[in-house]
Structure 1
Amino acid sequence: MSSPEPQASSTLAIYLRLLTYVRPYIGLFLLSIVGFLIFASTQPMLAYILKYFVDGLSNPEASLFPANDYLPDLPLLQAVPLLIVLIAVWQGVGSYLGNFFLARVSLGLVHDLRVVLFNKLLVLPNRYFDNHSSGHLISRITFNVTMVTGAATDAIKVVIREGMTVVFLFASLLWMNWKLTLVMVAILPLIGLMVSSASKKFRKQSKQIQVAMGDVTHVASETIQGYRVVRSFGGENYEQARFQSASQSNTDKQLRMVKTGAVYTPTLQLVTYSALALVMFLVLFLRGDSSAGDLVAYITMAGLLPKPIRQLSEVSSTIQKGVAGAESIFEQLDEPSEVDHGSVELERVSGRLEVRNLSFQYPDTEQPVLHDISFVAEPGQMVALVGRSGSGKSTLASLVPRFYHHEQGQILLDGVDVEEYSLRNLRRHIALVTQQVTLFNDTVANNIAYGDLAGAPLAEVQLASAAAYADEFIVKMPQAYQTLVGENGVLLSGGQRQRLAIARALLKNAPVLILDEATSALDTESEQHIQAALDKVMQGRTTLVIAHRLSTIEKADLILVMDQGRIVERGSHAELLAQNGYYSRLHSRQFADADEEVAVEINA
């Protein structure tokens, strides 16, 4: 999975946008900055103490404030140790304030980003999930946000603490001897050029690492979800090789970034220490009338500069990782949400469904999936869609609750275009049961009473379960309705999961019911039970049924036969058989296959 090359000029904009999430914590953030300022101010203080220490060695009788009418005459013998302790306490206060409160800010920031990123996932259109693997989406919430943590914590801490340390040290050096200090200032453009060059490399490599980490998550996620297929088809070696390749790619990219930093840091350190060496030469050569204490203090301050400068240069990689992570996060946050311009909200609809001249093609494709579809389903009627795979049945069913946005034709619910309903209100009127059942790692009761249904009385949950013939196996489970079903209902059979999904739809009690191969995972006996239950619950509800087994839709008020996105036949079961066309051939073929299966079972 490739990503477009980022524009270096956008780094500052992305970082500033990331920092806007600090606004709720601005008080704590400013407090942490004060702490780091306190910490940074102690660095030149400690270095300057050496001046008094050396002066005290040469003159034991010297005092801290000689010949002063306002301040006490404090001998250096007492003053130097006392000042060192006071400075250490002051530095400790600054360190605590900076580290603790910045940590609170950063953890809050990461939490907020994760929440807003996850909430955005809930409103993105279906096509976004069609085009992005779940592994890469999960990687953004976990790995990418973790990289942002570095930019929001370690980077800010280093930039403020070490940056102010450099400022304070330079200010002290300028005050002590501005001519010598200008020699060190001369190397700053060279350092800036090196940092800029390395930052571009770090940014590019961070993007590659993100993608590679997404590939690792993707492969692992697919293998875990499809472990039954992997084992039954002997795919262990293939998946091992696939995961090893993804992990090795990630490792290689990580090493490449480490190599960049390993070359960059000592190079920068060489430049910095070269400047320091020149300054020391000039100090020894042009010592003038400066005291030994002054010279020692100056050299010590100059010697303290390389470390914070090196740390500032190394923070570039952390910032670029965070910016790269933030960029991918903001890409997702900037994705347009589901189109929801509708304002109509009805408490209850009768369920009259009309489709007029509907045509549809998926975004970024050229081949239309539906061509000029028109039909009417009156309240309480059952309309069945049949046809071979790829004929457009499921696509048509997906357009009713607006999982995809159509531009040609109309879908009317109670005479109102579905585009005019608010999304939440529209979907409240529709219950959907698909072939791919989704269950959550929760109790049976919570899986049936899910979402808007949460909090429904247990008695109502039991009634829906009984109508879906799910109650008979639920009561036999260890904790009945409080039994955990495992991830995606892994502890249940396919038929049991399907019946729970049907019970969920029945509990919703929506005027429109869409059954997309809803009985496909059921055995014959369960299907008969479900069919009897559906016959009962479909009374008074408009039902759109997509069925592979024609025996389940013989009682449909209207059967639409689809082929290549068009309705090729329509009518009741008896009318379509009488036409002796597509439906009749499909019916004959299916029942011939059923007779063969029965004969095989009898002979066996």
Structure 2
Amino acid sequence: MKHLKALERYFWKYRLRLLLGIVFIVISNYFAVLAPQVTGYVFDVVQRAFGIESKKEPVQYDWLVTWFIHFAEQNRTISVIALCGIVILVLALIRGIFMFLMRQTIIVMSRHIEFDQKNQIFQHYLTLDSNFYKTHSTGDLMNRMAEDVSRVRMFTGPAIMYLINLVSLISLSVYYMVKKDALLTLYVLAPLPILAVTIYVVNNIINRRSERIQALLSDLTTNAQESYSGIRVIKSFVQEKAMYRFFDKNSEEYKENAIGLAKMEALYFPSMTLLIGLSTLLAIMIGGIYAIYGQHNIKMSTIAEFVMYINMLTFPVGAIGWTASMIQRAAASQKRINEFLNTDSAIVNPVNPVKPVLQGSITFDNVDFVYPNTGIQALTNFNLHIKKGQKIAIIGHTGSGKTTIAQLLLRMYDPTVGKVSVDGTDLQQMDLQELRRQISYVPQDVFLFSDTINNNILFSPGGAVTTETAVKAARSASVEKEIEQFHEKYDTMVGERGVTLSGGQKQRISIARALAKDPQIVVFDDCLSAVDARTEKEILGNLSVYLKHKTAIIITHRIFTLFDFDSIVVLDEGKIVETGTHSELLSLNGYYAYLYEQQLQQEREEG
């Protein structure tokens, strides 16, 4: 239950709806408990009419029922019975109206809380650092925002509503039952402590199983999500049966646990029915004995009232198990939600962030970096100074630390040792969003949204959002001609992750997205790996014009002889092993010359 304290802020925000809902529930139940009293009065009238009772005994009724009786006594017996029937119908109608208002306040409140909570979780997800997403699966993230939030909504809506209904209806019913006969009430309610113990024991079991089920559901969602995303790989390796067996195994484990929980919850309702039936039996048996022997002023009308009160309590008492189950499941789900909401990003804005206009001078000063999730040291004593407007190539084999440089410059990570600065200002002192807004980045793993080509190119808030900008950027990225051949041109939907496009087309649209932003600093991370030699030449020619007055870092495993770099940095195992221009590095006859020779040999073999 302690995990549900996180919801207090929402209850306070919607306190007016909650308060009105409580009032409507109490009023609704107040009119409900009047019906047994009116029914008891009808029994008295009928008995007096048949001479079973010779005199009217003083009976304790609610003030509203007492007022009605004074009014009804002025009519004949038949009219009184008809009038009582109408009053019972009116009471039911009034109760129904307030039940409608009850749901319109509390259930609607729960929907507002669900909306706010999903937004809060999604907004928090957006603030978390890259390392968080490397250590948590997408399926689990989605499950916590969807399934877990839905279970919490069942607490903020139905569970709260039924709990208040339960408390108010039992309180009012017991009050009027004690008012009629305290001893008979004690006998009738004797089974309830047994009910309380049953609920306590079963709920503890439900809580443990709910947590396990939610964890299994996350695994199942992750399994399905990865299968959908990698469906082409699965089909190409003919692994459909293997993936199905894996999913079936996870699904079977989830099913078994869910069925076990359902069986445990199934104990509630038969238990409720048994205990309610026992209470009804006690009311009739003990009340009947008292009525026969004329004890405690018990009459047939009293027995009728008690039976109606007990039957009236059947649903709310029966809902104790359901409500308790919803609360326990919500607590388990909220615990999982809190785990992520209480996770702070390792990359945060400084207290007083600097918001400079970047010119393009970049410095890496004695930078060491170790990836926190793997412990791999990506950079060691890395020093690099890039002047404003320079074009720098960073070359090295896979795993040499090239991409890490781009990640540090965008402050996806902070250096383990040393610092990274732009125009003399440490990145950790800058406003995070302002920094990223002024740097264009083409990632190695291209990602396109399930949207139009135009919206993918104009994704960044830093650029001018016009169709002309998108066309110009697509032309610079050498993808304009292919876009024009599409039936919908720039309004073509690219599908999930750009699935309808080729790898080269996705890379070039990603480049166009970076160019449309038009910043002073541009970082390309191995973004030409999926294009042919002719297109590569054309793109490099366009980039040489576009990048004329900009600072550019081009990270690649290939050597571009057609692009005039101011300096080429050669990395190996996180360290700079060579620097210089193309001709200078070839003259050294070192690692760069070896890489160049390997590339030429590969091109000769392919040619």
TM-score (norm 1): 0.91
The residue number in structure 1 matching 2:465 is: 456
Distance in 1 between residues matched to 2:95 and 2:318, nearest whole Å: 21
2:21–2:101 CA contact under 8 A, matched in 1? yes
**Residues 402-411 or 16-25, more deviating:** 16-25
Query: Does structure 1 residue 434 correspond to structure 2 residue 443?
Result: yes
Shift of 1:431: 0.6
Aligned to 1:245, which of 234, 246, 249?
Answer: 249
2:131–2:373 CA contact under 8 A, matched in 1? no
The residue number in structure 2 matching 1:115 is: 119
The residue number in structure 1 matching 2:434 is: 425
| Paired letter, 2:149 | V
Shift of 1:584: 1.8
Cα separation, partners in 2 of 1:453 and 1:72, compared to 1, 3 Å: farther
Q: Secondary structure at the match of 2:365?
A: strand
Shift of 1:264: 3.8
The residue number in structure 2 matching 1:45 is: 34
Distance in 1 between residues matched to 2:571 and 2:562, nearest whole Å: 15
Aligned to 2:269, which of 256, 265, 285?
Answer: 265
The residue number in structure 2 matching 1:166 is: 170
Query: Does structure 1 residue 58 correspond to structure 2 residue 67?
Result: no
Q: Secondary structure at the match of 1:411?
A: strand
| Paired letter, 1:360 | F
Equivalence map 1:392-541=2 (5 Å): 392-453=401-462, 456-541=465-550
| Paired letter, 2:377 | P
Distance in 2 between residues matched to 1:552 and 1:101, nearest whole Å: 70
Distance in 1 between residues matched to 2:363 and 2:84, nearest whole Å: 91
The residue number in structure 2 matching 1:328 is: 336
The residue number in structure 2 matching 1:8 is: none
Shift of 1:257: 0.8
Aligned to 1:235, which of 232, 239, 243?
Answer: 239
Shift of 1:365: 4.2
The residue number in structure 2 matching 1:209 is: 213
1:344–1:420 CA contact under 8 A, matched in 2? yes
1:173–1:302 CA contact under 8 A, matched in 2? no
| Paired letter, 1:60 | A
Q: Secondary structure at the match of 1:355?
A: strand
The residue number in structure 2 matching 1:317 is: 325
The residue number in structure 2 matching 1:17 is: 6
Shift of 1:388: 1.7
Equivalence map 1:23-422=2 (5 Å): 23-60=12-49, 73-75=74-76, 76-274=80-278, 276-287=280-291, 288=295, 289-337=297-345, 338-341=347-350, 343-346=352-355, 348-422=357-431
2:137–2:222 CA contact under 8 A, matched in 1? yes
Could you report, residue by residue, the CA deviation over 1:362-383 in whole angstroms, capped at 9, with x for unpaired residues? Answer: 2254442211100111111122
Q: Secondary structure at the match of 2:372?
A: coil
2:118–2:149 CA contact under 8 A, matched in 1? yes
Q: Secondary structure at the match of 2:537?
A: helix
**Residues 447-456 or 575-584, more deviating:** 447-456
**Residues 515-524 or 142-151, more deviating:** 142-151
Distance in 1 between residues matched to 2:71 and 2:103, nearest whole Å: 38
Q: Secondary structure at the match of 1:173?
A: helix
The residue number in structure 2 matching 1:567 is: 576
Distance in 2 between residues matched to 1:583 and 1:102, nearest whole Å: 69
The residue number in structure 2 matching 1:544 is: 553
Shift of 1:358: 0.3
2:540–2:563 CA contact under 8 A, matched in 1? no
The residue number in structure 1 matching 2:60 is: none
Cα separation, partners in 2 of 1:220 and 1:70, compared to 1, 3 Å: closer
Aligned to 1:593, which of 593, 598, 602?
Answer: 602
Cα separation, partners in 2 of 1:323 and 1:451, compared to 1, 3 Å: farther
Q: Secondary structure at the match of 1:120?
A: helix
Could you report, residue by residue, the CA deviation over 1:271-311 in whole angstroms, capped at 9, with x for unpaired residues? Answer: 45445544544333444032221232123323433442121
Shift of 1:141: 2.0
Distance in 2 between residues matched to 1:67 and 1:50, nearest whole Å: 12
Cα separation, partners in 2 of 1:34 and 1:537, compared to 1, 3 Å: same
| Paired letter, 2:418 | G
1:151–1:322 CA contact under 8 A, matched in 2? yes
Shift of 1:132: 0.8
Could you report, residue by residue, the CA deviation over 1:510-562 in whole angstroms, capped at 9, with x for unpaired residues? Answer: 11111110111111111111111122222222211211111368632222222
Q: Secondary structure at the match of 2:571?
A: strand
Structure 1 residue runs of 5 or longer lacking an equivalent are 1-10, 599-604
TM-score (norm 2): 0.91
**Residues 360-369 or 46-55, more deviating:** 360-369
2:206–2:328 CA contact under 8 A, matched in 1? yes
1:399–1:406 CA contact under 8 A, matched in 2? yes
Cα separation, partners in 2 of 1:510 and 1:211, compared to 1, 3 Å: same
Q: Secondary structure at the match of 1:561?
A: strand
| Paired letter, 1:42 | F
Cα separation, partners in 2 of 1:69 and 1:282, compared to 1, 3 Å: closer
Shift of 1:355: 0.4
Distance in 2 between residues matched to 1:159 and 1:392, nearest whole Å: 58
The residue number in structure 1 matching 2:590 is: 581
Q: Secondary structure at the match of 1:440?
A: coil
Could you report, residue by residue, the CA deviation over 1:415-458 in whole angstroms, capped at 9, with x for unpaired residues? Answer: 00111101011112211002211111222111111130476222
Distance in 2 between residues matched to 1:68 and 1:162, nearest whole Å: 29
Structure 2 residue runs of 5 or longer lacking an equivalent are 57-64
Shift of 1:24: 3.3
Q: Secondary structure at the match of 2:127?
A: coil
Could you report, residue by residue, the CA deviation over 1:430-489 in whole angstroms, capped at 9, with x for unpaired residues? Answer: 110022111112221111111304762222222222111121212222122222222222
Cα separation, partners in 2 of 1:495 and 1:384, compared to 1, 3 Å: same
Distance in 1 between residues matched to 2:190 and 2:464, nearest whole Å: 70
1:44–1:169 CA contact under 8 A, matched in 2? yes
1:435–1:521 CA contact under 8 A, matched in 2? no
Q: Secondary structure at the match of 1:515?
A: strand
Distance in 1 between residues matched to 2:148 and 2:67, nearest whole Å: 59
| Paired letter, 1:211 | A
Could you report, residue by residue, the CA deviation over 1:210-252 in whole angstroms, capped at 9, with x for unpaired residues? Answer: 2222222212211221121111111111121122222222222
Q: Secondary structure at the match of 2:267?
A: helix
Cα separation, partners in 2 of 1:334 and 1:454, compared to 1, 3 Å: farther
Shift of 1:67: 13
Could you report, residue by residue, the CA deviation over 1:168-224 in whole angstroms, capped at 9, with x for unpaired residues? Answer: 111111111112323455554443332222222222222222222222221221122
Shift of 1:25: 2.8
1:205–1:253 CA contact under 8 A, matched in 2? yes
| Paired letter, 1:363 | P
Could you report, residue by residue, the CA deviation over 1:331-370 in whole angstroms, capped at 9, with x for unpaired residues? Answer: 2222213411164444522100010000111225444221
